[in-house]
A and B are shown apart, each in its own frame.
Chain A
Amino acid sequence: MTLLTIDDLVVEHRTPGRPLVRAVAGASLTVAAGEVVGLVGESGCGKSTLARAVCGLHPAAAGTITVGGHPVTSLGLRSRHRALTGAQMVFQDPYASLNPRRRVGAQIADGLRTADDRTTAPADLLERVGLPRDFAERFPHEFSGGQRQRIAIARALAARPSLLIGDEPISALDASAQAHVARLMRDLAVESGAGLLFISHDLSVVRLIADRIAVMYLGKIVETGPTAEVWADPKHPYTRALLGAIPIPDGRGVLPTELPGDVPDPADPPSGCRFHPRCPLVMDVCLDREPEFGPVACWLHKPA
């Protein structure tokens, strides 16, 4: 069953006096129940904007997003429609996403109230994320980054989400806590039958937890596929470059391959295929025609 459907989504950022930036420029993606989808790409490619749009935190300029069959509307001053509380987000920085002046238990209770859950106690959720029950009486400043992120996960789970979204949930954590928190998110989502959209620029962690992987470049999804398949046989030249840049701990002293150039300015994207200025395999067709097909948006892999 498809939980989340994103179809040809466009999200624009407008800043007075600056050119319009299309952070997401026609991206399509689905997440099924019980499925973990990893969304990867370099900083500035639009991953976070896409996640925020799914929660209604950014209005869509074009295209549609549906969660559990309901179209996502932009979040206004009024509370979200009941059907949309099924999508819950864990944010990047647990130092900013938890209210420093409220007890941990009270913040988790907010989530329980959203789901009309009168039987579960906040302490039960703390237990599920591997924290002691009595932490509910404490304040966020008493905890480390990893513990705070667990609390944020408990709060998101309290609302009984059918779709959990993690927007770089591990990048603010210590290296030693990253893999643990990522695994925890995967296990809890899968266990409760929810889908998980996990956004990260850390490919090694995404590989560890995702069933399917989607690679984003400059506002577009350029390749999707089962994680193992993409890892073993990446098709898009960008995916190849991304995976090729990961240094391997084999002790041989091989320097990772560099991808020349910077990510272009999304306010002024290149013509044709957005990757063509940096692509080692660029052809004539790439300069003026955009590859608008999947699962690999590259003229070398055009479906027959």
Chain B
Amino acid sequence: MTLTISGLKVSIGEAEILRGVDLTVSAGHVHGLAGESGSGKTVTGLAVLGLLPHGSRTAGTIELAGRDLLAMPAKQLNAVRGAEIAMVFQDPATSLHPMVTVGVQLTEHMRHHLGVGRKEARERALGLLAKVRIPSPETAVDRYPHQFSGGMRQRIAIAVALACEPKVLIADEPTTALDVTVQAGILRLLRGLCDDLGLAVLLVTHDLGVMSAVADEVSVMKDGLVVETGPRGQVLTEPRHAYTRALLESLPGDDHKLPQEER
């Protein structure tokens, strides 16, 4: 399933946050969205899920399988959100409910959206935990988020997002709060899920290294506009827009050689 955003404008209060964003995320592809803080990356992701703050005004279209999500009545959108589109947030310490077991967080929306029974939901939860490579799912399912490390929590958050077998996954800085070693594992997991399940992934990140590792296409945002879009290799090695060049040049270092040789 392809997610197509065209001419998306978002204003919150007096501020015009997005000024006409065009973006396409295809099934089985990771589309990376880069840019500085405040450029509108996160708002783009939130707009897709209809999670913009109250009083925001929108224009343009966000199409998923021929339906415009922006024009959809709330009730219909509720059926799409969580079931067909899911989101992974930056900080797994705050995106998971601290007082509810992992099992309940994994099955609640599954039972709501898919109408599966308690027993089947638990079975599916175990399968999901195994899929995101949580050791011993049978015990993990009855534990609370604080009993896991940051990396494990983010894996659980990804499992929660995948519970209803969504077609589109929006990941907003999913590895920013993690150590590099843990980040490597999460990036491998995201890439694998995208390939195996044919997910369309919109990956919001300010880290061009992360972008280079997992994204197929890259879009660069500045001041609420997409200034450059293209295949990963082209945008990161032969950027056309001056701003993309500036972003790349702001990275430390001349000899990024070592880790390459290590692999």
Contact = CB atoms under 8 A, between A and B. Distances in A.
Nearest to B186: A258
Given A247-B207, A259-B184, A201 B179 contact: yes
In this complex, which of B149, B150, B179, B184 has the most chain A Cβ atoms within 10 angstroms of its Cβ? B179
A35 B104 CA distance: 52
Interface stretch (B5-13, B66-74, B228-236): B228-236
* Interface residue range, chain B: 35 or more
Nearest to A256: B184
Nearest to B30: A253
Contact of A256 (B36, B183, B237, B250): B183
B208 interface: yes
A134 interface: no
A262 B260 contact: no
B181 interface: yes
Interface residue SS majority, chain A: loop
Contact of A250 (B188, B214, B237): B237
Interface string B168-185: 000000001001111111
Interface stretch (B75-83, B107-115, B119-127, B251-259): B251-259
Count class of interface residues, chain A: 35 or more
A174 interface: yes
B256 A250 contact: yes
B222 interface: no
Interface of B: 36-37, 149-152, 176, 179-185, 187-188, 191, 206-216, 232-237, 248, 250-253, 255-256, 258-260, 262-263
20 contacts: A176-B206, A203-B180, A204-B251, A233-B258, A242-B181, A245-B180, A245-B183, A247-B209, A248-B212, A248-B259, A250-B236, A251-B212, A251-B232, A254-B213, A255-B184, A255-B191, A256-B180, A256-B187, A256-B213, A258-B184
Interface of A: 42-44, 174-176, 179, 201, 203-205, 207-208, 231-234, 240-259, 262-263
